[in-house]
Structure 1
């Protein structure tokens, strides 16, 4: 998930790097005494916190870093958090590790706030120590870190201290809120470990999360993290059971995890216990969840636009997604009631249509085939027509996508 956050913070005043492995002046790793039970618990928590997303490169050693992370302010790289004493965190103590998670302070410098210590600071010391024990039990990888190449003034670490003074705070509500035990556990999973707020909450001019708008959606450049408040989830047809299926398998009747959400499922949420998956869903929909909204019936004022869009769908989409939008198992998701089509903001739909979607591997036997992009096949006007047909027919949304909107996302 940290990889996602770095992309989501690209437009902000503070571009980011993840944990930087550095330590004292000797070459010996810090000896750690941990029980097998604590290490096993740390493994579970590291997955729940999605550590691998930023710290394990494709085909690379686990947690050895090297994940390339782009932003408009420069390029930076996930770092080595193996117990290697020179390049990793082998010389860090448990106190050092907790300081990085809780306060964003590494042994030798301040971390930038895209390392989600703004959320991890809500993690218990016990859980922090368990993750530390797990990481210190991994095989050291002598892989040097690649220095971040960030533009001025975003590479000035000292300024982050002033940012912390203004914006760093604990955000978990009072534990005596009167909610169920499942809701309370889900809140911890979502806010402290999974740090969902980092992506799904709007941010201010200085990159700070706007706490009054928690989970109301975040700007992600060309795409957006959708609103996942209880009301918004219900409006797009989600139930707690659907969310549990989505967390565990990456698929639900509302669609599948794609793009930046796919690694969240594959690396993190699929590994949650059934109890924790239920708790996370309970927190998101609430102890007294709303009924999922029925699909609205929309009539386009321009019937010709609907006809043109349907023709494009039959030509290029129906073979995989079905003549009636029913989808095809192991090939493509259904369109009827698809959550992306039901979003009021069409950007995620448009970017998917323009760029395509890579083949998605999911837990178990489910997979979704590669979806080609149509940026070179269809004009802006044709993409708008197709999007309006999809949204009006199966998303309950108005056919208000314009060619200019499509052009802005190319």
Structure 2
């Protein structure tokens, strides 16, 4: 293969960390309405597959499925597209065959899709499920909204080169994150690996932009400012998770280990909270395995007393009012710090970033709300922030108090 082809392949493949771009049309469409039960099932599957998040303007402010969600990547900005039945701008002129090919192979009637449309995971979607999702989408109100132009430069915008990426990296099935053979585990494997496409965020990527399957589900800190943590059985157990708590988290967004935030919040809001109890339990069973590891007890950490005292003073001044003097949290106000999964993560990134940037108000099922957490980037110095983070990690996370002011400064400067 020539150097030109190699470089083109690498450039195009790098877009795997961003959203699909472009919808097209074909002349062959369904001529009669789908059965009501198929449409109802399609609605459920579209929620399980988390379609709305990537195909609706940010924060749900636009028409559902009409596109416009921006993703900022190293290659430029790319927008989720219109998948309403509009024939000019959406998928209104697509047939069920067209839809299945786009979803599982990344090829539309007009062009190939950038591989961040998770067809690497959807590759194993059944035709029955694809047809049901298609039937549901075709019942939505057509929205005559043109797709936004992606801010991608050549060669990243060169779609024909996707042929090489798709030929090299599309696999029939992703490797399993856990061991199991039960019917619940088997269902969880399909819902997690295929419909939920969880590996797309929680697996790191290679230089070619494809999922690094040798590190499947081991986390991707480069996903965004808030990284995707390790959700292998051992990684979850190390942060105190159990199968039961995971199921609670997916259903309600809040568990003893904390609440959903960052990119996980819209997943719970638009997807998992709407899923059946059986499917939620199946996901949790698959992630932990039929024989899950025991949650690891919180470690006792020895740290410099003066360092922790300085961090404690800052905690009392700016955090304790919501999270409690003992880190116990307050219902409908804030999560507990004691045993919090983010504090227990060996990688301090998400704790640092959420403390710098803050977290928006979160609304969860059953009228549960976590109030807005302010960011402290403007009120705390790098040294004060590092002292606070170290106090939190050592006191309630069982992690070493080794975060430096330089690390805080680096994350502060990376904010976009």
1:342 is matched with which residue? 344
Q: CA deviation at 1:32?
A: 4.2
Alignment match of 1:298 (pick from 289, 296, 301):
301
Give the 3-state SS of the residue equivalent to 2:120 in structure 1. Answer: helix
Q: CA deviation at 1:153?
A: 1.5
Q: TM-score, normalised by structure 1?
A: 0.93
Give the 3-state SS of the residue equivalent to 2:103 in structure 1. Answer: helix
1:223 is matched with which residue? 226
1:263 is matched with which residue? 266
1:245 is matched with which residue? 248
Q: CA deviation at 1:17?
A: 4.2
- Does residue 50 of the first structure (1) align with residue 53 of the second (2)? no
2:5 is matched with which residue? none
Q: TM-score, normalised by structure 2?
A: 0.92
2:90 is matched with which residue? 88
Matched ranges for 1:6-405 at <5 A: 12=14, 14=16, 16-18=18-20, 20-24=22-26, 30-57=30-57, 58-172=60-174, 179-218=181-220, 219-300=222-303, 302-405=304-407
Q: CA deviation at 1:13?
A: 5.0
The one-character-per-residue Cα deviations of 1:39-72 (angstroms, maximum 9, x if unpaired) are 0000000000000001122332221112222223
1:5 is matched with which residue? none
The answer (yes or no) to whether the contact 2:180–2:286 under 8 Å persists in 1 is no
Distance in 2 between the 1:292 and 1:139 partners? Answer: 47
Distance in 1 between the 2:266 and 2:213 partners? Answer: 26
The answer (yes or no) to whether the contact 2:48–2:271 under 8 Å persists in 1 is yes
Distance in 1 between the 2:227 and 2:61 partners? Answer: 28
Give the 3-state SS of the residue equivalent to 1:150 in structure 2. Answer: coil
Give the root-mean-square deviation of aligned CA atoms.
Answer: 1.9
Q: CA deviation at 1:105?
A: 0.1
Q: CA deviation at 1:338?
A: 0.1
The one-character-per-residue Cα deviations of 1:4-58 (angstroms, maximum 9, x if unpaired) are xxxxx99945564426332136xx9653431000000000000000000011223
Q: Unmatched 5+ residue regions in structure 1?
A: 1-8
| Total equivalences in the alignment | 397
Give the 3-state SS of the residue equivalent to 1:223 in structure 2. Answer: coil
Q: Which moved more, 1:214-223 or 1:31-40?
A: 214-223
The answer (yes or no) to whether the contact 1:15–1:154 under 8 Å persists in 2 is no
Give the 3-state SS of the residue equivalent to 2:136 in structure 1. Answer: helix
Q: Which moved more, 1:277-286 or 1:136-145?
A: 136-145
The answer (yes or no) to whether the contact 2:15–2:115 under 8 Å persists in 1 is no
Q: Unmatched 5+ residue regions in structure 2?
A: 1-10
